[in-house]
Chains A and B, each alone.
Chain A
Amino acid sequence: MFVSTYRITKFAFQNFWRNFWLSVITITMLVMTLVTVNILLILNYVTDQAISSVEDRIEVSVYFEQDTKQETVDSAVSYLRGLSQVRDVVTISPDDALKRFTEQHKDSPVVLDSLNELGGNPFGATLIVKAKEAQDFTQILDALENPQFRDAIREKDFSDYQQIIERIQGTTERIRFFGLVIMGIFIAIAILIVFNTVRIGIFIHREEIGIMRLVGASNWFIKAPFLLEMILLSLLAILLVVAIIYPGLAALEPKFSFFFANDSIGLIDYFEKNGLRIFGIEFGVLVVLTLLSTSLAMRKYLKV
């Protein structure tokens, strides 16, 4: 068993070196396919981050009349909390509202002066309602039309992020579609190239294989070097991809952060935490694909 393993490995490496350029082409194609897959993954992650960072900002501010009873406000809060679209409701008391307002406008004396002229605290309670998703927004606004407290509400204020999100989604949808098409093409090419590499390998070794068959080499012994060679190529490809992706991420991350106007979108973090899983799965799928293609080529040209 051990001797056979050694001999099979030796044959596999021989295949690899004897068709060095073929091996290079095969690996290149596998790498290109994998890079596309990873770009799609990154895109997916960045989009998700972008959307959730926008979604974080989706909120409806509900200003109650100055003289609204606390009970009304409370019932509105518990009603809103009961809605499935609502992520969180923050209550701001009239005093806090005043403080916030003065804080926000501390640099504009005009505003503060006019506030003083009004005298006292002109603010009622304020609710800040956060939606779970952008499209939940309209339902929340509808819900606020509830007659129980509709009349106590002086004003509703919201920023409409729906459009921004739709634009992000629209763009990524298109990029993703292209990406998937390219990925599909690359996978098809990769399968064909692996198929062809194995075919040529079989052709180059046809004499040897013929003799192996005649002297009673098991089918497994004849097939294994080709399978092993492809696993080897897949492994090299995935290592190369790792070597490309991580520096790539390091270069990309600052650029994204610039767009997001916050310190980090955690792309590197994400790949560091999930890298093993991501590349592990990719390697697994790659091996399955190459072995499938190898088996096809062997079935066709090896007849064992």
Chain B
Amino acid sequence: MIKFKNVSKMYPPNIVGLEEINLHISAGEFVSIVGQSGTGKSTLAKMLFAEERPTRGTIEIGGWDITNIRSKDVPVLRRQIGVVFQDFKLLQKKTVYENVAFALQVAGVMPRRIREIVPAVLNIVNLDKMHERFPTQLSGGEQQRVAIARSLVHQPKVLIADEPTGNLDTLNSREIVDLLQRINEFGTTVLLVTHDREIVNRIKKRVITLEGGTIVSDVEQGRYKL
């Protein structure tokens, strides 16, 4: 599903983002990526949805070499990858429903399809009763669920979550991780970037640890070390 071959990323002037990353993630896996601040976790994630291009090496996703993806193909890629961030990235002036619908509107999806998809994904994240609320009227956990719902509208094969629980308390964090696991059970490959020891230990799935831009450990059913 996802292949990194000798991938390095240098940020100008000469900051190392990633160095010589070799990585293989199969379809349907749930992978946690851990490591201290500034070790290149977000850089790795960003390269998957072509927010950053590698300086060296090649990246493949679903058989598609996205190493030097053209800017007009980036939207095509992003409709196949869901992304979720620490800061939710919701539009404050739109309701829950509208925020989710927005992702479909900008892709030119017909209104009738939108009316089908949006309630369905909001149902997955358990926000049936909150369609008309605005983000300010939601808890952090609820906002993150809206973001997850939005990331699911195109039925992505891969979901990338970069510290989705960074702004949440323990209880809400658990809820989000449970949700991600459920999404993973439906067949979506999930990449979870996190700092949170407790979360990683709960998941008991593959854990990749980064340090200084390189992979220092990659274990099935891992625990948070460091």
A: residues with CB less than 8 A from B are 1, 3-4, 7, 207-208, 210-219, 221-222, 304
Q: Which residue of B lies closest to A208 (CB)?
A: B91
The answer to whether B71 touches A219, judged by C-beta atoms less than 8 angstroms apart, is yes
The stretch among B9-17, B103-111, B125-133, B192-200 that forms the contact with chain A is: B103-111
The answer to whether A207 touches B78, judged by C-beta atoms less than 8 angstroms apart, is no
Chain A residues near B216 (CB-CB < 8 A): none
The answer to whether A211 touches B108, judged by C-beta atoms less than 8 angstroms apart, is no
Q: At the interface, yes or no: B89 with Cβ under 8 Å from chain A?
A: yes
Would you give 16 A-B contacts (Cβ < 8 Å), ordered by A? A3-B105, A3-B110, A3-B111, A207-B91, A211-B91, A212-B106, A213-B75, A213-B78, A214-B83, A216-B107, A216-B154, A217-B107, A218-B72, A219-B71, A219-B72, A221-B108
Closest 6 CB pairs of A and B: A217-B106, A216-B78, A215-B103, A216-B79, A4-B108, A216-B75
The answer to whether A215 touches B91, judged by C-beta atoms less than 8 angstroms apart, is no
Q: How many chain B residues touch the partner (CB < 8 A)?
A: 25
The B33-81 residues at the A interface (CB cut-off 8 A) are: 49, 71-72, 74-79
The answer to whether A215 touches B71, judged by C-beta atoms less than 8 angstroms apart, is no
Tell me, rounded to whole Å, the shortest Cβ–Cβ distance linking B192 to chain A: 17
Tell me, rounded to whole Å, the shortest Cβ–Cβ distance linking B225 to chain A: 32
The answer to whether A304 touches B71, judged by C-beta atoms less than 8 angstroms apart, is yes
The answer to whether B78 touches A215, judged by C-beta atoms less than 8 angstroms apart, is yes
Cα separation A208 to B98 with both chains bound (whole Å): 12
Residue in A1, A207, A221, A304 whose CB lies within 8 Å of B106: A221
Cα separation A222 to B77 with both chains bound (whole Å): 16
Q: At the interface, yes or no: B134 with Cβ under 8 Å from chain A?
A: no
The B162-181 residues at the A interface (CB cut-off 8 A) are: none
The answer to whether B78 touches A214, judged by C-beta atoms less than 8 angstroms apart, is yes
Beyond A207-B89, A215-B79, A216-B107, list 9 extra A-B contacts (CB 8 Å): A7-B106, A211-B91, A213-B75, A213-B78, A215-B102, A215-B107, A215-B150, A219-B75, A221-B108
Chain B residues near A7 (CB-CB < 8 A): 105-106, 108
Name the residue in B75, B78, B109, B153 with the highest tally of chain A Cβ atoms < 10 Å from its Cβ.
B75
Cα separation A4 to B110 with both chains bound (whole Å): 9
